[in-house]
Amino acid sequence: MTREEAMDIIMSPDGGLGKGSPEEREFSRILESSHELREVQKQQQAVWSAMELWESVEPSMNFDRQIRQRVEELSARRSWFRGWFPAPRPGLAMALTALFVVAAGVVRQQPRLGPETVARVLETGAADKAYFEEFSRALDDLEMLAELDIAPQLESGQDES
Domain boundaries, the chain: 3-53, 90-151
Residue ranges in the chain modelled with pLDDT below 70: 15-18, 76-88, 110-115, 118, 121-122, 126-127, 151-161
For residue 40, count other CB atoms closer than 10 A to its CB.
16
Name the DSSP class of 150.
-
Name the DSSP class of 158.
S
| 124/135 Cα distance (integer angstroms) | 16
Identify residue 91 by its one-letter amino acid code: G
pLDDT of residue 61: 83
pLDDT of residue 38: 87
CA max distance for the chain: 137
pLDDT of residue 149: 74
The burial of 91, by beta-carbon neighbours within 10 Å (0-12 exposed, 13-18 middle, 19 or more buried), is given as: exposed
pLDDT (tens digit per residue) in 117-139: 767 766 777 667 777 778 788 88
pLDDT of residue 128: 72
The stretches of the chain forming alpha helices (DSSP H) are 3-11, 22-33, 35-53, 63-77, 80-84, 90-109, 115-147
Residue pair 41/10 in contact by the 8 Å Cβ criterion: yes
